[in-house]
A and B are shown apart, each in its own frame.
Chain A
Amino acid sequence: QVQLQQWGAGLLKPSETLSLTCAVYGGSFSGYYWSWIRQPPGKGLEWIGEINHSGSTNYNPSLKSRVTISVDTSKNQFSLKLSSVTAADTAVYYCARGLLGLRAAYYYYMDVWGKGTTVTVSS
């Protein structure tokens, strides 16, 4: 059974860089998309970006200038860096496994999620 284990610093000061890593256990790393999603306190879900096993990335346009997602296939890990954080970046950050399929139209879903990491930005 595939599991995602995530970790990273939970308290940052404004202007610092957020750094999180997600490790994939018990399943293949290739053939999937690996995403980061965040959820500010009391609010909804926001997709940050994704990467596949070959390192191809897609980012949320609203965050693209500050986001870097990278992959280490030798360790079955992928990572998120978000630069120049502010209080608005305070959120629970999740990693997730995504699958893309095609029937009459494309479909995409995330079936395995990490438990989440709470990141607080405060001076």
Chain B
Amino acid sequence: IQLTQSPSSLSASVGDRVTITCRASQGISSYLAWYQQKPGKAPKLLIYAASTLQSGVPSRFSGSGSGTDFTLTISSLQPEDFATYYCQQLNSYPRGLTFGGGTKVEIK
């Protein structure tokens, strides 16, 4: 199962609402996780089980979806949110993990 993120990059301004989509090539029987990665740093978990906010993550981040279509939304983009975002799913058989290709959020 492949995960396709769209867009692959976007330019936005501080305060904008940003939505990133992750689409599975076929319906998946598991929930997605979302990560944020800044240059030179390890990924940071934002959301798991499609919509559960990881402890310490600002509430402007939210996630939704099931089946084949999942979204990550940033309600009001802040300067520290400029980064690359990845979705990740659990494959049942064979057991393994797949990441989306990433969405780079840049300053307009």
Is B a genuine binding partner of A?
yes
List A residues at the B interface (Cβ < 8 Å).
35, 44-47, 49-50, 58-61, 94, 96, 98, 100-101, 103, 105-111, 113-116
Q: What is the interface of chain A mostly: helix, strand, loop, or mixed? A: strand
Least CB separation from A57: chain B residue: B95
Decide: A103 near B42, CB < 8 A? Known: A108-B33, A110-B33: no
* Chain B hits for A47, CB < 8 A: 96-99
Contact residues in B for A58 (Cβ distance below 8 Å): 94-96
Q: Is the interface of B mostly helix, strand, loop or mixed?
A: strand
Q: A-contacting residues of B (Cβ < 8 Å)?
A: 29-33, 35, 37, 42-45, 48-50, 54, 66, 86, 88-90, 92, 94-102
- Are the CB atoms of B33 and A107 closer together than 8 Å? yes
Q: Are B96 and A94 in contact (CB under 8 A)?
A: no
Are B33 and A109 neighbours in the complex by a CB distance under 8 Å?
A: yes
Given the contacts A101-B49, A103-B31, A108 and B97 also touching, CB distance less than 8 Å: yes
Q: How far is the CA of A60 from the CA of B96 in the complex (A)?
A: 6
